Chain A
Amino acid sequence: MAGSAVITEHSLGDILEESDAREVRRSRGPRRPPLLLQLLRPEPMFWQLFSAGGFVAALLLPITVAVLLIEAASAPSEALSYERITRLADHLLAKLYLLALISLPLFHWAHRFRYTVHHQFGVHGLKGLVAVLCYGTAIAGGALTVLVLLGI
């Protein structure tokens, strides 16, 4: 594909010579694919999910664990009663919140655990297999969450 574009006007780099030209000429490096295709490539996509999961795990999970811990350790209270939780979980926004709360930390885990396998467990091959297993687990967990949420 390189060289097929028709240059309609000369740039300064075409007129100057040698090193001067190299300084100002437009880069003729490999053309990037369109933005949408760039965004859909697996590595940046999984990195975005990893990052989002990191923020969910940092901002939302500690208070969630703390509330559940206090409720679990103390006598049964009204807060976790079946009627109240079914009423709360009935809302679409609550379902979307729960989906984010469960699936994004799974993607966060997948990305970090993938490198833990290589760095800490000392597995230096099988990079593709480890990646597929980790991200696949997270995708399966997200799909399972959607199924369970639809059943409530």
Chain B
Amino acid sequence: MRTEAPRRYPTYAPKVPRTWWLRTAPFRRFAAREFTAVFAAAFSIILLLFLFALSRGQEAYEGFLRWLGLPAVVVLLAIILVALLYHAGTWFRLSAHILGRREASRGAVIATLVAIWIAVSALAAWVYVAL
């Protein structure tokens, strides 16, 4: 056991309320940005269940697809999609803030990332649906 030595000078410890991140709009946007990761992880788990059902055979897989078609799951997927689009926007903006001004202007970095996003999305959609 260690006894607390008396402090020689007062320290300034501001009291921050637990809900500080709800107070202003930028704080709320920050909290929302951080929370999008929860939806990304939720989708990772859905994908993992998808693959697990696939590994269990045709019947399990088709049962999973029926679960995926439930209205509640469709709504959940729509919420995940909105969260991920918000994540993509904020992520590109963050990248531009880190790279921008040193290598290129922030606008140029964001434009490049959006162009890559469109190309990658088109390629992935083609693989998912038509390959």
B125 touching A67 by the CB < 8 A rule? yes
When chains A and B are docked, how far (Å) is the Cα of A64 from the Cα of B40?
11
Q: Which residues of A have CB within 8 Å of B73?
A: 72
- A80, CB-defined interface residue at 8 Å: yes
Chain B residues 103 to 131 lying within 8 A of chain A, measured CB to CB, are: 116-117, 120-121, 124-125, 128-131
**Min CB gap A138→B, angstroms:** 8
- A2, CB-defined interface residue at 8 Å: no
Chain B residues 36 to 84 lying within 8 A of chain A, measured CB to CB, are: 36-38, 40-41, 43-45, 47-48, 51-52, 54-55, 58, 61-62, 65, 68-69, 73-74, 77-78, 80-81, 84
Which residue of A57, A89, A106 contacts B87 across the interface (Cβ within 8 Å)?
Answer: A57
A63 touching B37 by the CB < 8 A rule? no
Q: How many residues of B contact A (CB 8 A)?
A: 47
Q: Which residues of A have CB within 8 Å of B120?
A: 59-60, 63
Summarize A's interface: helix, strand, loop or mixed: helix
- Given A69-B77, A79-B129, A105-B40; A59-B116 close (CB under 8 Å): yes
- A98, CB-defined interface residue at 8 Å: yes
Chain A residues 128 to 152 lying within 8 A of chain B, measured CB to CB, are: 141, 144-145, 148-149, 151-152
Which residue of A63, A82, A116 contacts B121 across the interface (Cβ within 8 Å)?
Answer: A63
Which residue of B18, B55, B87 contacts A58 across the interface (Cβ within 8 Å)?
Answer: B87
Q: Which residues of A have CB within 8 Å of B37?
A: 57, 105, 108-109, 111-113, 116
- A24, CB-defined interface residue at 8 Å: no
A60 touching B41 by the CB < 8 A rule? no
B74 touching A69 by the CB < 8 A rule? yes
When chains A and B are docked, how far (Å) is the Cα of A98 from the Cα of B74?
22
- Given A58-B91, A113-B37, A149-B51; A102-B44 close (CB under 8 Å): yes
A145 touching B51 by the CB < 8 A rule? yes
Q: Which residues of B have CB within 8 Å of A149?
A: 51
Known: A54-B91, A57-B87, A112-B37. 18 other contacts (CB 8 A): A57-B40, A58-B84, A58-B87, A58-B92, A59-B88, A63-B128, A65-B77, A65-B81, A69-B77, A72-B77, A73-B69, A79-B128, A79-B130, A82-B58, A86-B54, A116-B34, A141-B45, A152-B51
Q: Which residues of B contact A (CB under 8 A)?
A: 18, 21, 31, 34-38, 40-41, 43-45, 47-48, 51-52, 54-55, 58, 61-62, 65, 68-69, 73-74, 77-78, 80-81, 84-85, 87-88, 91-92, 116-117, 120-121, 124-125, 128-131
